[in-house]
């Protein structure tokens, strides 16, 4: 079981020197901005991160994030289970200037003091790797859509048909009144 407790913060002065690893499951409730992108709060997030110093004594975070969550299908607006996986390769820097000096293959993670908020980092990376739109696989979604639109169309026709007849009867009665 991956049940190690993920700390809220890591101290960047220590974790790189200690070559720390952080692995485990992060509950979705610790990722409120990520939840805003989802259909519900069910799911799991697994992280596996390594904290290392490179030859230039830069703090690098590498590893992998995986999530199984539900999003809204943009075609039928029903929940859809998706899996996200993202390889992380971040350099921890103290400000924008330091970020600009990074080699191009490294993405910066700005951490001004020594407290690195892990949930915030995970949340940001997961949001970045979310697909812009998600759809059910063709057949599944089309079946749902046909079912929903077919049903509502049938109801509308039934309503308009039943609404039409008393109205036309009334009109014909009025017309006959006027001519009398
Ligand atoms: Zn769908």
Per-residue pLDDT of the chain (180 residues; tens, 9 = 90+): 444 678 989 999 999 999 999 999 999 999 999 999 999 999 999 999 999 999 989 999 999 999 999 999 999 999 999 999 999 999 999 999 999 998 888 899 999 999 999 999 999 999 999 999 999 987 788 666 555 554 444 444 444 444 444 444 455 555 555 545
Cα–Cα distance between 90 and 22 in angstroms, integer?
15
> Total domain count for the chain?
2
Place of tokens 């969550």: 69
pLDDT of residue 165: 47
Give 3-state DSSP helix, strand, coil % of the chain, rounded to 5: 40, 30, 30
Q: Provide the domain limits for residue 105.
A: 9-136
Question: Residue 142: which region, alpha, beta or left (left: phi > 0; alpha: psi -120 to 50)?
Answer: alpha
Q: Are 114 and 159 part of one and the same domain? A: no
Is 100 domain-assigned?
Answer: yes
Q: Are 52 and 113 part of one and the same domain? A: yes
Contact 34, 123 (CB under 8 A): yes
Is 4 domain-assigned?
Answer: no
Cα–Cα distance between 46 and 83 in angstroms, integer?
11
Q: How far is the CA of 31 from the centre of ligand 1 (A)?
A: 25
Q: How far is the CA of 82 from the centre of ligand 1 (A)?
A: 12
Q: Are 84 and 71 part of one and the same domain? A: yes
Q: Are 159 and 88 part of one and the same domain? A: no
pLDDT of residue 125: 96
Residues shown for the chain: 180
Is 141 domain-assigned?
Answer: yes
pLDDT of residue 36: 94
Q: Are 108 and 155 part of one and the same domain? A: no
Domain boundary, last residue among 136, 152, 172: 136
Q: How far is the CA of 64 from the centre of ligand 1 (A)?
A: 28
pLDDT of residue 154: 44
Q: How far is the CA of 35 from the centre of ligand 1 (A)?
A: 20
pLDDT of residue 128: 94
């Amino acid at each position: 079981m991956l049940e190690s407790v993920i700390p809220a913060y890591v101290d960047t002065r220590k974790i790189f020197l200690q070559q720390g690893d952080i692995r485990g499951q992060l509950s979705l409730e610790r990722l409120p901005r990520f939840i805003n992108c989802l259909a519900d709060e069910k799911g799991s997030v697994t992280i596996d991160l390594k904290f290392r110093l490179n030859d230039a004594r830069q703090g690098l975070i590498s590893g992998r994030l995986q999530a199984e969550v539900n999003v809204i299908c943009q075609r039928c607006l029903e929940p859809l289970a998706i899996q996200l996986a993202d390889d992380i390769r971040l350099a921890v820097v103290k400000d924008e200037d330091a970020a600009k000096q990074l080699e191009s293959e490294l993405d910066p993670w700005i951490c001004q003091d020594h407290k690195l908020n892990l949930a915030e980092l995970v949340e940001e990376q997961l949001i970045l790797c979310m697909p812009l739109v998600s759809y059910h696989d063709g057949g599944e979604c089309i079946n749902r859509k046909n079912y929903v639109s077919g049903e509502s169309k049938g109801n509308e026709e039934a309503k308009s048909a039943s609404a039409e007849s008393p109205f036309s009867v009334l009109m014909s009665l009025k017309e006959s009144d006027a001519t009398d």
